[in-house]
Structure 1
Amino acid sequence: MPRLLIVAHAPSTNTLRLREAAECGARHPDVEGVEVTVKAPLEAGPEDLLFCDAILLGTTENLGYMSGALKDFFDRSYYPVLEEKQGLPCALYIRAGRDGTGTQRAVEGIVTGLRWKWVQAPLILRGKWQDAFADQVEELGMTMAAGLEAGVI
C-alpha cells in the first residue's frame, strides 16, 4: 500500500485547521488504498521519509522564509535521504501573511537539491485568514492521496 507523509507546521489554531484539512483530504472515503501519516516537523525525520512514497509539506511564512521547524526537519533529513529518495513526489502549502514568495523559493531550493518531483505548483494561502484556505488544502491532500492510489504520482 502506498504511503503519504504529511509534515506540516501548525503553531496556531488556523494552521492546525490546515494540517487537519490536509489529513482529512488524504483520508477521503473515496481513497482507500493509501496509508497516511501526519507529523509535525519537529517529530518527523529521515526514517519517515525513507518509509513514504510521497510527501505533502505545510509551513507558515516566517520573516519571508519557511518555519524554523520545517527548516529543522530538512536539516536533519537532507543527507540521510539524499540518494534514496530522489524523485519523491511532493507538494507544498504555505500560510503566508504577505506574499509567500521567499518561503516558496527557500523550500523549492531544498527540494531541487533533494531531486524530488513536484506534483503541482506550491499552494500559497495569502493574506488574512479565509475559511476557503482549509478547503484548498483538503483538496490538495485528496489529490496527493488519489494520485498515489492511482499510481500517477
Structure 2
Amino acid sequence: MTEAEPEPRLLIVWHSRTGASAAMARAAAEGAGAAAWLVGAGEASPAMLRAASGYIFACPENLGSMSGMMKEMFDRAYYPCLGQIEGRPYATLIAAGSDGEGAQRQIDRIVTGWRLRRVADPLIVNLAAQTPEVIAAPKQVPPKALKLCHEIGAALAEGLRLGVF
C-alpha cells in the first residue's frame, strides 16, 4: 500500500435485539482494530458499503431467517451497490436459538448477487434459546465464541491490510 492509498476499512454491520450479535460484532471490531467500522444495520448506507474494503455481517436468526433490520439494510443497499463491490471479502456472525442456518443462507444468497467472496467459515453461535422467556431475555455469548469473533475480525483486517483479499 502506498501513502496515497487509504487504509482498508472493514465495515461490520450488525443488528441485535438481545445483545448477542451486538457483542459478537463488538468482539470482531476489537479484533479488527483501526480497520473496524462498526455500524448498526439501521444506519448502514449504500455509500458506506461502497466505501468499505470488506464486510462482516452480524445478526440474530429470528423465526428461521435473518433479523428484519438486517434484511432492511440489504433491501436499501442491494441495487445501489450492484455492480460496484464485486470481489470484496465478507464473513458472517449469526446468533441463533437453534441452528442459524436460515439466516446464513439468506445472507449468502443476497451477497452472491453482489459477487462478494466469503473468506471465513460462517460462525453460528447457538444460544439454545427455546422458550419465550429465554428467547426475549438478554443474552451472554460464551467467551470462546467471542474469541472466535475477535479472531475473524483480526483475520479480515489483516488480510485487507496485506492485500490478500
* Distance in 2 of aligned mates of 1:13 and 1:66: 15
Residue 70 of structure 2: aligned partner: 70
* Distance in 1 of aligned mates of 2:32 and 2:79: 28
* Distance in 2 of aligned mates of 1:60 and 1:37: 19
- Give the one of 108, 124, 148 matched to 1:136: 148
Deviation beyond 3 Å, 4+ runs, structure 1: none
Report the Cα offset of residue 110 of structure 1. 0.3
TM-score (norm 2): 0.84
* Distance in 2 of aligned mates of 1:102 and 1:15: 16
State the aligned residue count: 147
Of stretches 117-126 and 69-78 in structure 1, the one that deviates more from structure 2 is 117-126
Q: Point out where structure 1 has 5 or more consecutive residues left out of the alignment.
A: 28-33
What do the CA deviations read for 1:62-104 (whole angstroms, capped 9, x no partner)?
A: 0010011110110000000111111121110101110111111
* Distance in 1 of aligned mates of 2:35 and 2:43: 18
Whether contact under 8 Å (1:85, 1:116) holds in the other structure is: yes
Q: Percent same amino acid at aligned positions?
A: 39
Report the Cα offset of residue 124 of structure 1. 0.9
Name the SS for the 2:74 alignment partner.
helix
Of stretches 68-77 and 6-15 in structure 1, the one that deviates more from structure 2 is 6-15
Superposition CA RMSD, Å? 1.3
Q: Which has the larger radius of gyration?
A: 2
Report the Cα offset of residue 11 of structure 1. 2.2
Report the Cα offset of residue 36 of structure 1. 2.2
* Distance in 2 of aligned mates of 1:13 and 1:150: 32
